[in-house]
Structure 1
Amino acid sequence: MSEHQDDDELRWLDEQEKAAWTGLISLVLLLPGKLESPLRQEHGLTLFEYLVLSHLSEAPQRKLRMGELAFLASGSLSRLSNVVKRCEQRGWIVRTPDPADGRYTLAELTAPGFDLVQQAAPTHLRSVRRTVLDALNSTDQKALARIAEKLHIVPADFG
């Protein structure tokens, strides 16, 4: 028996479990593309870039430590660093040492970055509503939030 296998016998998925799993994996694989496509077409942004810019736009003084930003955007610190570098090159973000603790780096949204996220927000909102929220009633939305909370996976290297 491998070290990853439980002592219990392997349990195959029943019909309900299979439906839940295939529904979830379809969402996980297909939803990001559906949300990203309008952002790419109208604003030249990936979904992750939009999420990074959006979280910065909502932060106090439009600044966050890179680790916190990675956590909020549900990405690894290395992925965030690559995206922030591209955003810096485009003039949307600047990085500076954290004056409170120089071991940390702050990402700060620039005025052009803020303008871009304000322009892209309606596109993203329409896409979220059309693709997800409009198909769900209040009970479904609460259930989805509860399920997401139960299944939430925190990036390991957000520090």
Structure 2
Amino acid sequence: MTEQEPRWLDAAEMRAWRNYVVGASMLEDRLHRELQERHGVSLADYEVLVRLSERRGRRMRMSQLADEVASSKSRVSHQVARMEREGLLRRRECPEDGRGVFAELTDQGMAVLEGSAPTHVEGVREHMIDLLSREEQEVLAKVFDRVIAHLRGVDG
């Protein structure tokens, strides 16, 4: 049995891929730096705060939180433990099953989120959203809806 030749990227495909990789990395680094310098919060921590703030009771199961921020359960567990020591979150046992654990946003965590949100939104607008037309924004959203569904194993 012979190995099949890879489907190499052509010039247009390579340009799209490389621009995505470099652009996404630069954008994430810039947004992280702005939050860190102005508010002492990382982009990863900001995302956790946002996800919890959007939930009823400002809490979510740890496993669901890991899924929503596209991280491993282990990594999120360490992140939440650190954020708990900083007073931004607290962990609570799940009363329904006794095994699950909730991450819950504290008032201090909510205050950090509210203080840093304008900086984050300003950065997202300046470094990405305002550079795109409404049509380009829609195309980008559809593309990543498809990528996310594929990577989660959902037919799209």
Q: TM-score, normalised by structure 2?
A: 0.90
Q: Distance in 2 between matches of 1:82 and 1:107?
A: 12
SS in 1 for 2:103: strand
SS in 1 for 2:102: strand
Give the count of matched residue pairs: 150
1:73 deviates by: 1.5
For 1:9-28, list aligned pairs within 5 A: 9-28=5-24
Partner in structure 1 of residue 118 of structure 2: 122
Alignment partner for residue 61 of structure 1, among 46, 51, 57?
A: 57
SS in 2 for 1:107: strand
Letter of the 2:132 counterpart? L
Letter of the 1:54 counterpart? V
Q: Distance in 1 between matches of 2:109 and 2:6?
A: 51
Q: Percent same amino acid among aligned pairs? A: 37
Alignment partner for residue 35 of structure 2, among 34, 39, 47?
A: 39
Letter of the 1:67 counterpart? S
For 1:129-148, list aligned pairs within 5 A: 129-148=125-144
Task: Give a deviation string over 1:72-122, Cα, whole Å, max 9, x none.
Answer: 122111111111111110111000110011111001101111111011111
Task: Give a deviation string over 1:1-48, Cα, whole Å, max 9, x none.
Answer: 79xx6x3x2232211111111111112322210111110001111111
Partner in structure 2 of residue 109 of structure 1: 105
- How large is the Cα RMSD of the aligned pairs? 1.5
Partner in structure 2 of residue 91 of structure 1: 87
Q: Distance in 2 between matches of 1:147 and 1:49?
A: 26
Q: Distance in 1 between matches of 2:118 and 2:107?
A: 18
Letter of the 1:22 counterpart? R
Letter of the 2:82 counterpart? R
Q: TM-score, normalised by structure 1?
A: 0.89
1:147 deviates by: 1.1
Letter of the 2:78 counterpart? N
